[in-house]
Amino acid sequence: MKKNIAIFASGGGSNAEVIIDHFKNSDTANITLIVTNKANAHVIERAKNHDIPFYIHSHDDIDNGNLVAKMKTFEIDFIVLAGYLKRIHPDLISNFPNKIVNIHPALLPKFGGKGMYGMNVHRAVIQAQEKTTGITIHYVNENYDEGNIIEQHACLIETGASPETVQKQVLELEHKYFAQSIAMLVSK
């Protein structure tokens, strides 16, 4: 039986788009719902373009259980965080144990935690004069970026690289590996 996946995103949704395309003709999973916390997030347009229902939640929806209820209404089996910038409520985690995954734009445990997202991560990597960076796909727990690591993929940082250059390199890794990793996880 096909699994139902909800993608949570707060911004543009380029990873969401890659994941949607990956599962478009899949025998194992459907992208059933897009969830966002921002009414102006571009991921909503991506959902509309693919005729995928979307849900814009409020902060209250997290605390009062409406978000968990929405997941149950859509019979969600698996949740993918793709640029979602809110902490995941313990109720959601307890309802989906080891069924929520995130992608982080660095090689955890370095450069993780509260406030470490997007360009903040890439600036920190450059400032620390790291030679490599990459992505970490991990399960979500109650703490930012501390869930068990599923897989990591690295790339070299060229001397003199800018945070923008590093961002492009990391995004290529995200687009190459995230959907594949999700497919492997949902087929278990």
Say what the pLDDT of residue 115 is.
92
| DSSP code per residue over 106-121 | S-TTTT-STT--HHHH
The two tokens of residue 87 are: 């902490």
Locate the domains of the chain by residue range.
3-186
Nearest CA among 138, 112, 109, 128 for reference residue 166? 128
Q: Do 106 and 131 contact (CB within 8 A), yes or no?
A: no
Q: Do 19 and 102 contact (CB within 8 A), yes or no?
A: no
Q: Which amino acid is at 97?
A: P
The H-assigned helical ranges of the chain are 14-23, 43-49, 59-63, 66-73, 90-95, 118-127, 163-186
Mean pLDDT by 10 residues, the chain (188 residues): 96 96 95 97 97 93 88 97 92 95 97 94 97 98 95 96 97 97 94
Say what the pLDDT of residue 62 is.
79
Q: Is 104 a catalytic residue?
A: yes
Query: Regarding the domain delimited by 3-186, which CATH topology (the fold level of the hierarchy) does it fall under?
Result: Rossmann fold (3.40.50)
Say what the pLDDT of residue 188 is.
83
The two tokens of residue 61 are: 């929806």
User: Which residue of the set 104, 138, 153, 175 is catalytic?
Assistant: 104
Helix (H/G/I), strand (E/B), else coil: 81 = strand
